[in-house]
Every structure is written in structure tokens, then in C-alpha cells.
Amino acid sequence: MRKILLLATVAALAACGGNATKKAETPQTKRPQTETRTQTAGGYTAMRVPTAEDKAVFDEAMKGLAGVTYTPDSVATQIVNGTNYKFLCTARTAAREPMTYRAEAVVYKPLPQSGGQAVLTSIVRLAEPHAAADARPAKAPADGRATGAYTAMRVPTAEDKAVFDEAMKGLAGVTYTPDSVATQIVNGTNYKFLCKGETSTNPPMKFDAEVIIHQPLPSAGDKPYITAIRRM
């Protein structure tokens, strides 16, 4: 009889222990997980007024760029393998009849240990509600060419390359090699070059880019200048 009672007691204790283990494993008794939120790495900061250091980076990258003067009004930065600076600028052409417009310039500054200088990686004219006020009607060229749309892409001629080289003269930090070009007749001529770009950083970065150059009418006597560089 005592053996029977002892066995019953052991069985009861085992059952209780099993239930306790199961209870500890039930979802209701698990500690709830704490949700954590992290900021996306690599995002740009909010726009702010450029500091003296920001302006020094901007001036280094824009040194030698002719035809348009860019004045940085605000800047945002992005930490990558180095730092990207996104500048919102006021642009003014150096033509006899200058145009003023808003532009965005992106400058890359390598890490200090690389020893590389700041380079201009893209620059684009921003659309504005009052852009039409700066627009100039296209004058029909004397040779009867149509105005408006770009031509089909083609291999650059010696004349195209001369326009390209004149506009890119003085631009440091990135070497652009034109592979193809299309032209657009406006109040002068726009050249759209598809290029291979390579930075002078260590190690260098290679990429495809679109470079837009405006050649004023010969009667204006102005040199060609860059109006946009878009990394593709």
C-alpha cells in the first residue's frame, strides 16, 4: 500500500513539473520583444546654411569651372566612404546677357587619408515657377536648321570635341571622355554628351555621365559652358 501511495505521489509531482515546464514555454509567458528604430544609414542631413568649411569644399570642387558662377545658399551632407555635399545654389551665366537660375551641385569629398581633393559629381538646373521669365526664344539659324528637339545620338566630330574641351577646361577632380553626342538648336546650341567619368581619387571611381554644354551664338562672342552634369 505504501508503495502504491509513493508511486502516486511521484507521478503527481512529475505531472506538475511537466505542466510548469509547458507553461514556461507558452507564448503568454515569453518576455515581449522591444521594438527598436534606427535611422537609415547614408541619408542626407537637413539643409542648413553653409559653414566656412563647407564653402572651402565647394570652392575646391568648383575651381576652374568657367561660364557660370555658382553661389551656395544651403547645404546638406551625406556620410559615405567620404562625404557628399548637396549644395543649393544661385547660378549666373557669364554671357553678355546673363541669366540667373537655381541649381543643385553635388560635391564628393574623399576621406582625409586618401589625400584626394573635392570633386564635382553632378550639377543640374532646378525647375522654378518663374523659369519662363529667364527663357529666351530660340532664333532660327541662318542655315535653316530646325529648332527645338535634340538630334539622334552620334559619334562626336572634331568640332563637337572642341566645344566639349573648351567647356570642360579647368574642371578638376574628374576626367570625362565623350562617347556620343546629340545637339539641340536653341538661342545657340545645346550639346548633350554621353561620357565615361573617372575621378582622380585613390582609388578612382568610374561611372557613366551625361554632360550638357551650351554654345552661345557666334554673334554673342561667348565661350561654351557647362549647364548640367548628371551621373547615370
- pLDDT, tens digit (0-9, with 9 covering 90-100), for 64-116: 888 899 999 999 999 998 899 999 999 998 877 788 999 999 999 988 877 77
Residue-level pLDDT at 131: 43
CA distance 10 to 28: 28
pTM higher than 0.75 = no
Strand order through the sheet with 174-186:
68-80, 82-93, 100-109, 119-125, 225-231, 206-215, 188-199, 174-186
Task: Please list, in sequence order, all residues whose beta carbon lies within 8 angstroms of the beta carbon of residue 42, skipping any fewer than 6 positions away.
Answer: 78, 79, 80
Per-residue pLDDT averaged across 45-74, rounded?
93
Tell me the pLDDT band of 147, cut-offs 50, 70 and 90: low
